[in-house]
Amino acid sequence: MEPTKRKMKILEAVVEAYIKTGDPIGSKAVCDVLDFNVSSATVRNDMAELSNLGLLEQPHTSSGRVPTELGYRVYLDELMKPEPLNKKEQAAIRNSLDLGADTPESLLETAAEVLSKITGCAAFAASPPGDNAVIRQIRFVRTGSYTAMVVLITSLGTVKTKLFRCDYMITPSLLEMFDRAINERLSGRLVTSITPAFIQTTAISLGEMSIMMPSVLLAVSEAAKEASVDGTAIRGQSNLFSMPELASEDGKKVMELLEKTGELSKLITAAGKGAGVLIGSELHHPALSSLSIIAAQYTAAPECSGTLALIGPLRMNYPKIISTLGYVADVVGEFLSELLDA
């Protein structure tokens, strides 16, 4: 069909113009950008039909048109082409990430930082799911006569510490004993396998030792539990302030959501595994109804991948931002695998 093609072109023009200016787009403005040589009246007819299809809407009778959520969806699925980054942009990103690549955590923080700077959105980075992390080593460090610290290091390169206190004086030799005994029994195990029940049986197998310092095993299990939750980094919250779609009521709700990393994490990993872009009501969250989340997965190794995401207004430069996010995800995966592998 021929007319359908022109209508699509018009939809594309409206979406892109609206993304640029933020003002409703009139038929004349569309005419100016369009390749077809048609008059504004023709465009008007087509736009009226696009409105009937639910792809465009007018804020009030007789002002320009604005894309509906469905309009954005069609644009994203059928019309938009990602705009690849040039060498210079790629180099800048790679360079910034390299500087932050000391530990997995700092790499993800840097990635979120870089993304938020470039895109002007709030950026979110989730570590690979902690529940298939394996305990690499557990160390004990004396911090006082009656206090010590357990240091748990996982295969994902994360480190969790926990201070504990004993009734008995803690001697270096006692700690060394524990160190050996615990590592023997726990290293190599999944962090999720350190359940209370497992701790119970370990305590029994340790015999007298565990009786002397009951808090040790508790501290270890708590550290393991913490290691099993996914780490997250959020940067660029300040960008939310500049989004006019966030009246201060909603803005507060969104910020609160960002402060509860757990809830957000679910939402975003879902997005990352799916289409990549979730908009408005697709997010199933009242505060986010006028926002858009773009997610991409990075992969450091088979079975070891996490998600990067951007939270911004519906009205954003998708072609550029999607490629940027994709490139950052690639580089993060690459650097992370360097950090973790043999």
Phi first, then psi, for residue 315 (nearest 5°) are -90, 85
Q: To the nearest whole angstrom, how small is the minimum distance from the Cβ of residue 289 to DNA?
A: 21
Name which position in 51, 132, 155, 187 contacts DNA (CB under 7 A): 51
Structure tokens at 159: 């480190």
Name which position in 9, 73, 94, 136 contacts a second copy (CB under 8 A): 136
Judged by beta carbon distances under 5 to 8 A according to partner kind, the member of a second copy, DNA, none in contact with residue 274 is none
Would you count residue 28 as binding DNA (CB under 7 A)? yes
Would you count residue 60 as binding DNA (CB under 7 A)? yes
SS3 at position 142 = strand
Judged by beta carbon distances under 5 to 8 A according to partner kind, the member of DNA, a second copy, none in contact with residue 29 is DNA
Q: How far apart are CA 134 and CA 153, in angstroms?
A: 9
Closer Cβ to a second copy, 175 or 267, answer by number: 175
Report CA dihedral (52, 53, 59, 60) to the nearest 10 degrees: 0
Please check whether residue 69 is in contact with residue 245, taking contact to mean a CB–CB distance below 8 angstroms: no
Tokens 């359940």 -> residue = 195
Would you count residue 248 as binding a second copy (CB under 8 A)? yes
SS3 at position 84 = coil
CB atoms within 10 A of CB 275: 14
Q: How far apart are CA 42 and CA 320, in angstroms?
A: 31
Would you count residue 252 as binding a second copy (CB under 8 A)? yes
Would you count residue 149 as binding a second copy (CB under 8 A)? yes
> Which residues are at the interface with DNA (CB under 7 A)?
3, 6, 24-29, 37-42, 44-45, 47-48, 51, 58-65
Residues engaged in binding a second copy (CB under 8 A)? 102-103, 136-137, 139, 141, 143-147, 149, 151, 153, 155, 157, 159, 161-163, 165, 222, 235-242, 248, 251-252, 255-256, 258-259, 338-342
